[in-house]
Amino acid sequence: MLNTYGGGIVRSVAWWGWALIVLALIGVAALRAALDDASGAPVLCGIVLIAPLIIVGFTSGIRHDTEKVTPVRHEVTLRPGGVIDARKYDIIEQRGAIYVIEEREVAQ
């Protein structure tokens, strides 16, 4: 076995996380426009819109774990006459003498 990767938990952005990101982008636009005009109220508005994203982003509240796990893949080479167990692994890719195999789902 040359290398193994995968098996990590898939993380996703929650719906309200996307809403906070949109509000932050609006805040950045307002802040940029306010700095060009040098007026105070839009600067405050921009900061108020950006602050929740910064606070929630640093506390990792935007992303959440899903039930999905990335598949475990192995890079292997075979000795002459060697075979891959087709009941346990799927061949994903072949690069010369290196095979990338993935564990099959266990049927229950």
Q: Where are the beta strands (DSSP E) in the chain?
A: 3-5, 9-13, 63-69, 73-77, 89-95, 98-103
Q: CB under 8 Å, gap of 24 or more: what pairs does 17-21 form?
A: 17/56, 17/61, 17/62, 17/63, 20/52, 20/53, 20/56, 20/62, 21/53, 21/62
pLDDT on residue 3:
77
**44 within 8 A of 14, measured Cβ to Cβ:** no
Give the H/E segment covering residue 48. Answer: helix 40-58
Give the whole-angstrom CA distance, residue 57 versus residue 60. 5
- Kindly report, residue by residue over 5-31, the tens digit of the pLDDT: 777 777 777 766 777 777 777 777 777
The confidence score (pLDDT) of residue 8 equals: 77
pTM (global) more than 0.85: no
- Is pLDDT above 60 for 108? no
Identify the pLDDT of residue 59.
Answer: 65
How far is 65 from 27, CA to CA, in rounded Å? 28
